Chains A and B, each alone.
Chain A
Amino acid sequence: MDKDVEQKIQDLQNQINELKGQVADVEEATKDQLSIAIVSGDMDRILAAMVLSIAAASMDTQVKLFFSFWSLSALRDKSKRVKSKDFLSKMFGFMLPRGMDKLKLSKMNMAGMGPKMIKFLMKKQNVLSLDEMFRQAAELGIEIIVCEMSMGLMGIRKEELIDYPNLSLAGAGTFIAEAAESRIQLFI
C-alpha cells in the first residue's frame, strides 16, 4: 500500500517537472518586445506607430520598428540630397514626401490643409510632434530597421535617411524572426 502511494507521488513529481520544463520553454520563446511592420506613409498612421512605440518603451518593452514601402518617406531627411540616381528613381524621389514633416493624412488631407490643421491642434494640445517623437524614440533606444528591398524600389538611398542612432537595413526575414520572438506584433 505505502509503496503504491510512493509510486504515485513519484509519478506526480515527474509530471510536475515535465510541466515546469514546458512552461520555461514557452516563456523563453517570446520576449517582452513590440515589433511593428510600418508600411503606410500616412502621417496619422506613422503617428499611431510612434505613440504606441513610445508608450511601450516607457513601460520598458523593447521596440523594433520595421519601415517599408511608403513609410520610408517619413525617414527621409529633407536637408539631404543624393545625386546620380536614374530617371525613375528621380521621379519617385520627386513625388514622394520629403520627410516626416511632409506626410499626408489618410483621410481629410484636403490638398495639404488637413496635415496643417492636425499639426496646429497637436501643438495646441501639447502632443509631441513627429520630429520630437523620433528624438524621444532614439533616446529610449527604439530600434529602426529599414527594408532594403523597398529602398531599392523607391530609389531611396541610405545617405538621404535621417540621422538616427539605432538604424539599420534588413530584409523581411529579420522582421519575421523578430516578430516570432515578440509578445506583441503589429502591422500599420
Chain B
Amino acid sequence: MNEEQLKQIKADKVVDARGTACPGPLLAAKKAIGLIEQGQIMEILSSDEGTKRDVPKWAKKKGYEYLGTIEENGYFRIFLRK
C-alpha cells in the first residue's frame, strides 16, 4: 500500500509502543495481536527504528499481511492485517 492508502486506514487496534526500546515494541505487538480477529488491522506506533524491519519479518512468519509503514516526526506507524 502507498502512503496515501495507509493514511486512510482506521486500525481496529492501535498499539502505542513509543518510547520502549527493542524488543519492547515486538513484545507489545505480540501481546496485542491476540486481541483482534482475523482480517482486522493493527497499527503499531514505535519510535524504535528497528521495529519497522522487525514487524514485517514477524508478520511473514505468522502469516499476517504487512501493509506498510508511515514515517511520522520521531516515530513510525506500522500497519498489518491479521
A60's partner among B19, B22, B24, B62 (CB-CB below 8 A) is B62
What count of chain A residues pass the 8 Å CB interface test?
13
Q: B27: CB under 8 A from chain A?
A: yes
B contact face: mostly helix, strand, loop, or mixed: helix
* Cβ contact within 8 Å between A126 and B21: yes
Q: B10: CB under 8 A from chain A?
A: no
* Cβ contact within 8 Å between A54 and B23: yes
Instruction: Give every chain B residue within 8 A of A140 (Cβ-Cβ).
Output: 27
Instruction: Give every chain A residue within 8 A of B62 (Cβ-Cβ).
Output: 59-60
* Cβ contact within 8 Å between A54 and B27: yes
> How far is B4's CA from A81's CA once the two chains are assembled, in angstroms?
61
- Mask of B1-45 contacts with A, CB within 8 angstroms, 1/0: 000000000000000000111111011011000000000000000
A59-B61, A59-B62 are contacts. A51–B26 as well, Cβ < 8 Å? no
A127's partner among B21, B26, B30, B61 (CB-CB below 8 A) is B21
Instruction: Give every chain A residue within 8 A of B29 (Cβ-Cβ).
Output: 58
Total A-B residue contacts, Cβ distance less than 8 Å: 38
* Cβ contact within 8 Å between A59 and B21: no
> How far is B26's CA from A60's CA once the two chains are assembled, in angstroms?
11
Max count, chain A CB within 10 A of own CB: residue among B22, B27, B54, B57: B27
* Cβ contact within 8 Å between B19 and A126: yes
- Shortest beta-carbon distance, B27 to chain A, in Å? 5
* Cβ contact within 8 Å between A126 and B24: yes
- Shortest beta-carbon distance, A58 to chain B, in Å? 4
Instruction: Give every chain B residue within 8 A of A57 (Cβ-Cβ).
Output: 30
Instruction: Give every chain A residue within 8 A of B19 (Cβ-Cβ).
Output: 126
Q: List 30 A-B contacts (CB under 8 A).
A: A51-B22, A51-B23, A54-B23, A54-B27, A55-B22, A55-B23, A55-B26, A55-B54, A57-B30, A58-B27, A58-B58, A59-B30, A59-B57, A59-B58, A59-B61, A59-B62, A60-B30, A60-B61, A60-B62, A125-B21, A126-B19, A126-B20, A126-B21, A126-B24, A127-B21, A127-B22, A127-B24, A128-B21, A136-B27, A140-B27
